[in-house]
Amino acid sequence: MNHHHHEEPPPDSANDTGWSESDGQWPMRPVDRLIYASLSRVDRSVLDEMRRIRDHAVRNNGPDGLRVGLMHMNGHFIEWIEGPGPAIDALMARVSRDPRHHGLQVIHRSTGQARLKRPWIGAIVQAIEPPSLFAARVHTWRLRHEAGQVYEPAHVWMNVCSPPAPDMPRAGEGAERVMLLSARLAWAFDLLRWLAGVSSRRLVQRRYAASADDVPDVASDYLDLPDLGPGGMRLIAHARRGLTMGVAHALMPAHGAVVLILDGDAEANVRLVQKVLDVCNQTQHVPTIIGVGPHDSVTAELADRVQANGHAWIGVRSPLARPDVSDLWAVLEPVLDQFAGQASG
């Protein structure tokens, strides 16, 4: 491949928190799952405060069987908690008295498959919209929760924390979400950056600062394309290493398909496919898997491996031996357009 590319986005050293991501076994039994939002009262460094919260949570959540994802954005906290119901209730009683926030609203509660793999995942997202818009989404999801409407927690979290672009059809409710991963280098991120440029659309760049000292902060960029499929499509580039961390694991069930940008390195392709299949197996999610790359990289071996695990496989071959991102998009776009039409049909 001859496109100018680079390694996956490096950590931003100023934001590399060294936040803990200790491993743990997935609970096999159904767990209680709760999401709440609140208004932040933190007027000091948010990063320092999140580190204090992290240290306390890592000490206390494990023994109680709790796993927590906490995000600070747009002047709000939003927290996703999983574990035994009584432990969640006890945590919520403590949280409601915490002076660092106020106006707590529960926007989701359900029982089901565990989604959070780590005792604590943290993220700080820089505001890209007025806090009032964030508050309006929180209010909408609180009303849905109070009306007894039940969604997957990943769906609620993503709709509150990463809303669709304003021009997406039907306010983004019908949009397909597709994860992009690359077997080597940073092709997934390069493709999104190029697409944002040629379509004059805003690329949203995020860092999840939730990893151990030896695993840097993880990038997760996304781009909304309103004209792809009947309801629009969101393409989300994830770093490969993010697959084994909490965020990509937790959000995998919200993706209808996973696009794997394959490479001339057959072993790297097999490693990526197997990693994706492992995550899908753990999250009990069966997205369509689409492999795209140079002609020789899209092999029957990969197709067999994917289909043996119960997933639909779509192989997309570029006729070029060294395609760049525009060449890959030329063969991938019609496949995604057709996939979105079938998924919504």
What is the location of CATH 3.30.70.100 in the chain? Answer: 31-161
What is the location of CATH 3.40.50.300 in the chain? Answer: 169-344
Pairing of strands 120-124, 233-238: unpaired
The predicted structure's pLDDT at residue 344? 66
The predicted structure's pLDDT at residue 262? 97
The topology under which CATH files domain 169-344 is Rossmann fold (3.40.50)
The predicted structure's pLDDT at residue 12? 38
d(CA 280, CA 215): 22
Q: Which of 219, 240, 248, 212 is nearest to 117 (CA)?
A: 248
d(CA 119, CA 245): 11
Rounded to two decimals, what is the model's pTM? 0.81
CATH code of the region 31-161? 3.30.70.100
The predicted structure's pLDDT at residue 49? 80
d(CA 83, CA 34): 9
Residue 236: what residue type?
A: I
The one-digit pLDDT tens for each residue of the chain (345 residues) are 444 455 554 433 333 333 334 444 555 678 999 999 999 888 877 777 877 887 777 777 777 888 888 888 888 999 999 999 999 999 999 999 988 899 999 999 999 988 887 777 777 777 677 888 899 999 999 999 999 998 889 889 888 988 888 888 876 566 889 999 999 999 999 999 999 999 999 998 877 654 344 445 677 889 999 999 888 999 999 888 777 666 677 788 889 999 999 999 999 999 999 999 988 988 788 999 999 999 999 999 999 999 999 999 999 999 999 999 999 999 999 999 999 888 766
Q: How far apart are the first and last CA of the chain?
A: 36
The predicted structure's pLDDT at residue 214? 43
The predicted structure's pLDDT at residue 212? 46
**DSSP state letter for 204:** B
d(CA 302, CA 317): 13
Residue 189: what residue type?
A: F
d(CA 118, CA 123): 13
d(CA 331, CA 321): 14
The predicted structure's pLDDT at residue 345? 63
Q: Which of 217, 225, 207 is nearest to 168 (CA)?
A: 225
Residue 96: what residue type?
A: S
